Each structure stands twice: as C-alpha cells, then as structure tokens.
C-alpha cells in the first residue's frame, strides 16, 4: 500500500502532482510519502503491540535525515551498521537505548563511538570482533552490551546477493558454534551478554523462513539458559519483502501471529529490524525522458537517471515497475529504459511495454524508497539526485540536489601540480 496514485491521468504523491514537484525541483529526483512511511511503521507497532518489543529501523534502506526524524518522532529505534549510520540515527533523535549495531567490519573508532553513545547492544559477528570490543570496552572502563549474530543456515529463497543466513555467507557465527562462542564471551570481563541476533536475508516473501530460523534461535536461547547464560533480547533482524510487482509478502501482522505464540511463557524482548518494508514502497524515483532511440532489434528510452541513482536493476536485475507520470493513450511499444551512464549494464527496466514516451515526458520508477538513494553514487561525475518528502498537499526538499562543487569536495591538488 502506498500513497502514489493516479487522479485522472496524473500521478500524485499524496495530494501533490508529481509533475509539479519535478517542475520545481528538477530530475532525477526521489520522492517519499511521509504518510506511507508512518503507515508502514505503525503496521509493525500494532502487530507487536502485545509483546515487549523494539522496532529498530534498518538505516541502510534509507537514511535521509528527514525520514529518520519522522520515524524517531514516532517511537522508532535503529539498526545501524557503521559509525556514520549511528551518527545519523542519534542526530535524528533516535535514543541510544533503541539502537543496535551490526556489521562484520566494525572499526575501532566506531566501537568507541557506540560505547560512548551507550547503545542498546552490539550484534557481534566473529570471535575476533568479540575480543576487540572486550579490549576497547576495558580501556574505556565500560561493559559492552552484546548479542552474537548467529547464522541459522536457512534459505530465505531470495536473490543470492541479499541472502545472508546461509552457511557460506560471511555474516554471523554458524549456529552450531554459537554455544562455544557464548561461553567465550562469558569469560570476557568487559562484555555483558544480552541477546541473540539473526538476520537471514532481504526481500523474503514467505513466512516459513522466519519461523524456521526463529525456532532455531529459540532453541539456542534454551540451550544457553541451561548453560547458565540468560538472554534478554531476541533480535530477529529484518527481511520482510514488499510487492515490487505481483509478490504477496506477509504483512507484519502475519509475522507476529507466527512468531509471538512461539514466545509464550518467556519474557524475551523482541527486536525487529525492518528496512525495505518501511521505506521501499514509500518512495519513487522520477526521471525525465531525454531521447528515444530505435535499433533494428530494440527500442531504448534514455532518461536522465541511471545506475548511479538507482543501482538495484543493474546490480540484482531487480524489477521495478515503471509508470508514466502522465498517462497517455499513445500506441504501446516495448523498450528498455536506460540511463545516461557509460555502461551497458546501466538500465532501470528492460523490455517494458509502455505507452509511447516522448522527449521531456516524466517517468516514475516505483518502489524505490529503500536501497535507492542510499546506494547511489557519483559515477560518471553526476551529482546525486534531490530528495523530497511529501505530506498531504505540501512537499519539502529534504536533500538538495548535489552541485558540481560537491564533486570535488575534499579533493586537493598537490603542490607539485600547481
Ligand atoms: N538487519 C540486518 C542485519 C541487515 O543486514 C539488513 C539488510 C536489515 C536488517 C534490513 O533488511 P530489510 O528489512 O531491508 O530486508 N541492497 C539490497 C538489500 C540489502 C540488505 C542488506 N541487509 C537490495 O537493494 O535489495
């Protein structure tokens, strides 16, 4: 469900015509609906209302400061994977006691930063990292609150690049080695064991992988208990998919109906780390048609946004629906929607049947609110796109389009070249 809909033949973001925003702000452009963001957050909050829980939104999906502030104001916590994300989460007003920190490569300064901020817990991914955090915490005269990220070896049946819970994945500790790792952690004086963390992958469209992996984690919690290690937080990660085309991923309520009964009789605090299911369908990417090009075998629609702005199609062959910002009744044709980047892999959509587009027309790439702007780059020295948030009849530029000045920010010419 989202707030991008046609009124007559015109695409609106909430109550604002997309065309009006594009005219004022230019393209390429990301537009987010605050209403959709809130509705998605509320779906989780309502679903888990009856249980002790924290929704720790995964910043990697969309870390625009206005998006973060909106979520923070509505009671959301954060899942961060870098010092930069921790900084943004804190700046947006997300309280430290609602922040969990994952990632296989936490650096020393980042660990210090998180300890000083007093986050809820580190989700530790290896014994080496465990030793490092213990050592750094000791130096600061602190105890580091931790969970171990376990790898439950469950196939989430999603794209291999975004599935993380399989045995061969670099993430987490194989679940069969978890007990020995927890015993090791118990011996380290500057660690405080608080939880178990798992995250098996992203864009998961069935409930079963969540149930299977959760059962494994619960079993581990019991094993730990019988070894004298009490767990408070069960962090079940993120991963709930969204409809990009005709997928029917489970609703958060379905997730809670499947998971909460398994927790009966325990008083664990549940942590959820949704990213995509909060932000994905709350955003679109808008681009202008520059040229049309016809090869004997193929038609191309060349637009001003490319893989530097929205990498998912190029990187994962991900499907995003492409819609005209103004519907027309022209003849339909099959075309690739491609960007301006000098790479054959630069496309937003392949073999799409769209009513004929002309130069200057606007297109909207749907479901682009998650892993859109956050994965964008300056490749081909293109300034990054602007971001807009819509609320009812109003819209706000929540990140200005980059300028050429940004392209050389921080760069210096050494003296011998002056
Ligand atoms: N927690 C952890 C530890 C994660 O690694 C991730 C995502 C999440 C939570 C949030 O997962 P979500 O609810 O968004 O599925 N760039 C890829 C997705 C990579 C996801 C990485 N980890 C894409 O565009 O599909």
pLDDT digits (tens, 9 = 90+) for 25-51: 999 999 999 999 999 999 999 999 999
Distance 331 CA to ligand 1 centre (A): 39
Q: Is the pLDDT of residue 167 over 70?
A: no
Domain with CATH 3.20.20.10 in the chain: 103-272
Q: What are phi and psi of 4, to 5 degrees?
A: -110, 110
Q: What are phi and psi of 114, to 5 degrees?
A: -70, -35
DSSP H or E run through 270: strand 269-272
Tell me the HSE value of 58 on the side-chain side, using a 13 A CA sphere: 28
Select from 327, 378, 384, 382 the least CA-distant residue to 356.
327
Q: Which residues pair with 283 in a beta bridge?
A: 32
CATH classification code of 103-272 = 3.20.20.10
Q: Give the pLDDT of residue 154.
A: 85
Domain with CATH 2.40.37.10 in the chain: 4-31+280-407
Q: Which residues pair with 228 in a beta bridge?
A: none
Indicate the pLDDT class of residue 159, thresholds 50, 70 and 90: low
CB-ligand 1 contact for 100 (6 Å cutoff): no
- Which is the closest atom of ligand 1 to the Cα of 159? 25
Q: Whose CA is nearest to atom 8 of ligand 1?
A: 238
CB-ligand 1 contact for 320 (6 Å cutoff): no
Mean of pLDDT values over 326-348:
95
Q: Whose CA is nearest to atom 24 of ligand 1?
A: 371
Distance 135 CA to ligand 1 centre (A): 29
Which of left, alpha, beta for 370 (phi over 0: left; psi -120 to 50: alpha)? beta
Select from 193, 194, 196, 191 the least CA-distant residue to 134.
191
Q: Give the pLDDT of residue 156.
A: 74
Strand bridging mode 233-235 / 269-272: parallel
Q: Give the pLDDT of residue 158.
A: 67
**Residue of 198, 275, 312 with the most ligand 1 atoms within 8 Å of its CB, for mutation:** 275
The number of helices, as runs of H, and strands, as runs of E, in the chain is 12, 21
Q: Give the pLDDT of residue 317.
A: 96
Q: Give the pLDDT of residue 153.
A: 86
In this structure, are residues 55 and 274 in contact, taking their beta carbons and an 8 Å threshold? yes
Give the global pTM: 0.97
CB-ligand 1 contact for 129 (6 Å cutoff): no
- Omega before 169 cis (within 30°)? no
Strand bridging mode 4-7 / 10-13: antiparallel
76 is annotated as an active-site residue: no
CB-ligand 1 contact for 156 (6 Å cutoff): no
Mean of pLDDT values over 219-229:
98
Q: Was domain 4-31+280-407 assigned CATH 2.40.37.10?
A: yes
Maximum distance among all alpha carbons in the chain?
72
Q: Give the pLDDT of residue 305.
A: 98
**Residue of 56, 67, 276 with the most ligand 1 atoms within 8 Å of its CB, for mutation:** 276
CB-ligand 1 contact for 276 (6 Å cutoff): yes
| Mean pLDDT score across all residues of the chain | 96
Q: Where are the alpha helices (DSSP H) in 92-157?
A: 108-117, 127-139
In this structure, are residues 353 and 322 in contact, taking their beta carbons and an 8 Å threshold? no
Q: Is the pLDDT of residue 264 over 70?
A: yes
Select from 196, 183, 172, 184 the least CA-distant residue to 100.
196
Q: Is the pLDDT of residue 160 over 80?
A: no
Burial class (CB in 10 A: 0-12, 13-18, 19+), 418: exposed
Distance 301 CA to ligand 1 centre (A): 30
- Which is the closest atom of ligand 1 to the Cα of 202? 15
Mean of pLDDT values over 243-264:
96
Indicate the pLDDT class of residue 300, thresholds 50, 70 and 90: very high
SS3 content of the chain, % helix, strand, coil (to 5): 35, 25, 40
Q: Is the pLDDT of residue 79 over 80?
A: yes
Mean of pLDDT values over 10-15:
98
Q: Give the pLDDT of residue 46.
A: 98
CB-ligand 1 contact for 239 (6 Å cutoff): yes
Q: Give the pLDDT of residue 414.
A: 97
Distance 131 CA to ligand 1 centre (A): 26
**342, 411, 413, 417: the active-site residue:** 342
Burial class (CB in 10 A: 0-12, 13-18, 19+), 321: middle
Supply the DSSP symbol for 2. -
Q: Give the pLDDT of residue 165.
A: 59
Q: What percent of the chain has pLDDT over 90?
A: 92
Select from 266, 348, 343, 243 the least CA-distant residue to 302.
348
Q: Is the pLDDT of residue 90 over 80?
A: yes
**CA 415/CA 403 separation, integer angstroms:** 26
**Residue of 202, 206, 233, 250 with the most ligand 1 atoms within 8 Å of its CB, for mutation:** 202
CB-ligand 1 contact for 277 (6 Å cutoff): yes
**CA 283/CA 252 separation, integer angstroms:** 19
């Amino acid at each position: 469900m989202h707030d991008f809909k046609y009124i007559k033949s015109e695409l609106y973001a909430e109550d604002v015509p997309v065309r009006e925003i594009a005219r004022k702000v230019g393209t390429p452009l990301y537009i987010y609906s605050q209403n959709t963001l809130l509705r998605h957050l509320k779906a989780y909050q309502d679903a888990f209302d009856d249980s002790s829980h924290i929704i720790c939104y995964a910043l990697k999906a969309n870390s625009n400061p206005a998006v973060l502030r909106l979520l923070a104001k509505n009671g959301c916590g954060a899942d961060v994977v870098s010092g930069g994300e921790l900084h943004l989460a804190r700046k947006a007003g997300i309280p430290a006691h609602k922040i969990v920190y994952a990632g296989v490569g936490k650096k020393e300064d980042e660990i210090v930063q998180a300890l000083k901020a007093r986050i809820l817990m580190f989700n530790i991914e290896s014994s080496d990292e465990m030793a490092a955090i213990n050592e750094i915490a000791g130096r600061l005269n602190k105890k580091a609150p931790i969970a171990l990220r376990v790898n439950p070896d469950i196939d989430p049946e999603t794209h291999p690049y975004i599935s993380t819970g399989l045995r061969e994945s670099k993430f987490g500790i194989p679940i069969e080695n978890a007990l020995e790792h927890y015993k090791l952690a118990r011996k380290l004086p500057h660690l405080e064991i608080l939880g178990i963390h798992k995250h098996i992958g992203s864009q998961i469209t069935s409930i079963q992988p969540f149930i299977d992996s959760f059962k494994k984690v619960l079993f581990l919690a019991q094993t730990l208990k019988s070894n004298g290690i009490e767990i408070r937080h069960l962090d079940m990660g993120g991963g709930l998919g969204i409809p990009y085309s005709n997928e029917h991923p489970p609703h958060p309520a379905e997730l809670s109906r499947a998971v909460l009964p398994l927790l009966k009789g325990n008083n664990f605090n549940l942590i959820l780390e949704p990213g995509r299911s909060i932000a994905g369908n709350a955003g679109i990417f808008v681009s202008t048609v520059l040229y049309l090009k016809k090869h004997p075998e193929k038609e191309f629609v060349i637009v001003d946004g490319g893989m530097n702005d929205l990498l998912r199609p190029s990187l994962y062959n991900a499907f995003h629906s492409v819609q005209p910002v103004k519907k027309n009744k022209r003849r339909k044709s099959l075309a690739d929607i491609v960007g301006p980047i000098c790479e054959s892999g630069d496309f937003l959509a392949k073999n799409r049947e769209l009513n004929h587009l002309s130069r200057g027309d606007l297109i909207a790439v749907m479901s682009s609110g998650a892993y859109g702007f956050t994965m964008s780059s300056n490749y081909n020295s293109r300034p990054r796109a602007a971001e807009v948030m819509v609320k009812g009849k109003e819209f706000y530029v929540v990140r200005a389009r980059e300028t050429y000045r940004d392209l050389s920010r921080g760069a210096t010419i050494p003296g011998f070249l002056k």
